[in-house]
Amino acid sequence: MTEALRLEDVHKSFGGLEVLKGIDLALQRHEVVALIGASGSGKSTLLRCINLLERVDGGRIFLGGEDATAPGADVNGVRRRIGIVFQAFNLFPHMTVLRNVCLGPVEALGIPDDRAHAEAEHLLGRFGLREKIGEYPDRLSGGQQQRVAIIRALAMHPEVILLDEVTSALDPELIAEVLEVIRELAEAGMTMILATHEMGFARDIAHRVCFLDQGVILEQGRPERIFSRPEHPRTRRFLQRIVAAGRL
């Protein structure tokens, strides 16, 4: 097995607030890890640190064996190798779907227009969006926009994709189509970390579940085990709340 990503003792504070208190996490290639935990536990911060959108205060992050946090590391190079998709779709509103998907490959990777277009067309077709290629984002449903956002990340051929609560802003009836895209990526072997409240989905597709609590990974393991026999009382309490809210 080859290691895709490794975090060693990652720390991050905002002012006096320590949000990540020493995170160790290693991902093999093709592995899907679900990050669960209460709001405010540090999931987004962790994903943002991995993508170097936030600078870590301590610890190291290795991407494909290279230290992405070393002084002088190529920050933009690292970001190009890690896709990130947020809760809010963040598509460029003044660009068509095609332009949104092609922008990164053309501008950041230097892929010729015609090749980038052909690939975008192929990806959009694969995820049922071929007929939306010339549309602007505001003509798409939230579910379609989020699928385009995931495809846009995919078009960069990232080594890892980070998904931060990508279904949280969607109407319930639009969630399934986005989860389907993620499921297909998982089946295709994409290495992913997904912060999610969709516990049933996490149980279904993740190889491993990490429970983040107040800035530490309190417990991790196979989804069957975490969801049926959580060891830590705090994990148990969190899952009980999730069950009570009808989310598992």
Q: Quick one: which of 44, 146, 167, 235 contacts Mg ion (CB under 5 A)?
A: 44
Per rule CB under 6 A, is residue 42 in the interface with ligand ADP?
yes
Helix (H) or strand (E) holding 204: helix 199-205
Cβ distance to ligand ADP smaller for residue 177 or 213? 213
Cβ distance to ligand ADP smaller for residue 45 or 167? 45
Q: Quick one: which of 39, 72, 114, 173 contacts ligand ADP (CB under 6 A)?
A: 39
DSSP 210-228: EEEETTEEEEEE-HHHHHH
DSSP 56-123: -SEEEEEETTEETTSTT--HHHHHHHEEEE-SS----TTS-HHHHHHHHHHHTT---HHHHHHHHHHH
Per rule CB under 6 A, is residue 19 in the interface with ligand ADP?
yes
Judged by CB under 6 A, the stretch of 35-43, 71-79, 112-120, 197-205 that binds ligand ADP is 35-43
Beta-strand pair 192-195/32-36: parallel
- Tell me which of Mg ion, ligand ADP, none is bound by residue 147, counting a contact when its beta carbon lies within the kind-specific cut-off of 5 to 8 angstroms: none
How deeply is 53 buried, as exposed, middle or buried, from its count of CB atoms within 10 A (0-12, 13-18, 19+)?
middle
Cβ distance to ligand ADP smaller for residue 40 or 128? 40
Q: Quick one: which of 10, 31, 45, 102 contacts ligand ADP (CB under 6 A)?
A: 45
Cβ distance to Mg ion smaller for residue 51 or 100? 51
How many angstroms from the chain centroid is the CA of residue 169?
15
C-alpha distances (whole Å) from 166 to each of 23, 34, 60, 248 are: 23, 12, 26, 18
Find the residue with minimal CB distance to Mg ion.
44
Judged by CB under 6 A, the stretch of 25-33, 43-51, 82-90, 203-211 that binds ligand ADP is 43-51
Cβ distance to Mg ion smaller for residue 44 or 191? 44
| Residues binding ligand ADP (CB under 6 A) | 14, 19, 37, 39-45
